[in-house]
Structure 1
């Protein structure tokens, strides 16, 4: 804040060396240059060095203390206090308005910060919810995965069980088809070229075998057929013989031991067995392999009957 005071008394002006009323710079009103003069913001009159005026710290304009209605005591106190600050009426209104705007800005700032905090809290809640949802999703995925695994395992078990059942049914059907059949080995190949002639010759040989060698005269043969393709060395192929009934089959198998009494060398080579499925043949092969291993280890008294392994001593101990 700057203040100007009228200098009382006549002293010599430092510019014109005349005795006149001087200002603080020891210059008379005549010697004061236009640059040293300012205009009062209120009355628009010039403010000179000899006027009691005060400069606003806000707008930096000069104002007569009378125009601004500044009391002399207050004016004197402002002059004497170093670093004192003074504002004109217009700047005071502006400052007060600014304070109001600042207060409004502060309130708006508080509201904005509340909204930001609300958004932040909401984001935090959303984040927590998302984390919980992710945990639930993980739990759901785990449960669904476990359920799928359990169902898959159950399906696998059912599928394997079904495969076993199907194989069992198929095996049963195969055995049912073979229940009246026997296989005859080492029956010479027919010399005929025509198919029917070969079949007739094979049938005639089988009838002769069953009636004269096996001594099963009531056994009736329904059909005969050679198994496999003809061999280049003309070795005999196994012959499938379908009998009238299952009783005829067992009669022929029981009478197979009579072949060893045959005087004809060709007929003596003939052998008869059941018509087994692949599963039955594999099982019989395993049993005979087990019998071979036991006998190789010096174990005696073991034999195979009806596809199973028995020991003679064990049978004797039962009686």
Structure 2
């Protein structure tokens, strides 16, 4: 605005933005459209004009048209601000969700790695172990005496029945708590007569061997048990000492084996985590 928003007939020949007549008397310059306006046309009070004059370049004045535009722009700006706020909130929610997902992924990976490490350690700890099922428990109260008897029975089982010689047994241990005898009624007996105490089913026997090679040799020769004439070993079965994960996988393989046999396939057997047929090995898909 020239001369602190005052104009004279020698400073401008601009036409008023309202009446289109030259601004030769006092007038003001719009700070937005840069048009000149008569003070009277814009109905600007004398006090307001004097204040604008005093402030000079520090002041900003806008015509009615531009002020109307400002009102519309303010509404648009408000809408934009609200949209931006909503967008910002959505972005923050997305970022938080991504952070949560990243944390979940990292946690899942860590848990998976820890689980695999523990599984490897557990398999390593069990690699030379066998579990014998249905082997009668010896009578006795002395734990050391019972342990010696069971080691001797294991040696007899391995050498005489399974036909594997010089098996070094490191230790034996019954799994689970001792089972109490179950009392069942005598057949055709009165209710007052005492029942018959059935001997509980033997607990599995965990056998730790000197090495894993001996374990697999025993398992390979367990087929000889079907020819046993000894009543002690008549119902005995021998398996590897498996982790929970290995037992689940073993169950899956056996279920798959039954399914394939049910569909008519023959000469199938499980060997080292695979279903084999006629010398060929097929990996069962999970």
Into which bin does the TM-score normalised by the smaller protein fall? 0.5 to 0.7
Q: 2:109 aligns with which of 137, 156, 161?
A: 161
CA apart distance, 1:181: 0.2
Indicate how the Cα distance of structure 1 residues 289 and 262 shifts in structure 2: closer, same or farther if over 3 A, else same: same
Unaligned runs of 5+ in 1: 1-102
CA contact (8 A) 1:303 1:312 kept: no
2:16 matched residue in structure 1:
none
Q: Flag the structure with higher helix content.
A: 1
1:65 matched residue in structure 2:
none
Unaligned runs of 5+ in 2: 1-39, 50-60, 182-198, 282-286
Indicate how the Cα distance of structure 1 residues 129 and 107 shifts in structure 2: closer, same or farther if over 3 A, else same: closer
Secondary structure of residue in 2 paired with 1:250:
helix
Q: 1:264 aligns with which of 212, 230, 237?
A: 230
Q: 2:120 aligns with which of 172, 194, 215?
A: 172
CA apart distance, 1:125: 6.0
> In 2, Cα distance between the equivalents of 1:303 and 1:219?
26
> In 1, Cα distance between the equivalents of 2:220 and 2:267?
22
Q: What TM-score do the two structures reach when normalised by structure 2? A: 0.62
Q: 2:138 aligns with which of 181, 184, 190?
A: 190
CA apart distance, 1:245: 1.3
Matched, 1:295 2:261: yes
2:203 matched residue in structure 1:
237
Matched, 1:213 2:179: no
> In 2, Cα distance between the equivalents of 1:230 and 1:107?
106
Matches within 5 A, 1:1-319: 108=45, 111=48, 128-231=76-179, 232=181, 233-312=199-278
The CA deviation string for residues 205-250 of structure 1, in whole angstroms up to 9 with x for no partner, is 1122223333333221111001112233322111000011112212
Secondary structure of residue in 1 paired with 2:221:
helix
Give the RMSD, CA atoms, in angstroms. 3.1
The CA deviation string for residues 28-61 of structure 1, in whole angstroms up to 9 with x for no partner, is xxxxxxxxxxxxxxxxxxxxxxxxxxxxxxxxxx
Indicate how the Cα distance of structure 1 residues 222 and 312 shifts in structure 2: closer, same or farther if over 3 A, else same: same
> In 2, Cα distance between the equivalents of 1:155 and 1:313?
48
Provide the aligned length of Structure 1 versus Structure 2: 210
1:71 matched residue in structure 2:
none
> In 1, Cα distance between the equivalents of 2:125 and 2:273?
19
> In 2, Cα distance between the equivalents of 1:240 and 1:201?
14
> In 1, Cα distance between the equivalents of 2:233 and 2:153?
10
The CA deviation string for residues 106-127 of structure 1, in whole angstroms up to 9 with x for no partner, is 8648949x89x79988776665
> In 1, Cα distance between the equivalents of 2:276 and 2:155?
34
> In 1, Cα distance between the equivalents of 2:148 and 2:44?
120
CA apart distance, 1:149: 2.0
> In 1, Cα distance between the equivalents of 2:176 and 2:95?
52
CA apart distance, 1:145: 1.9
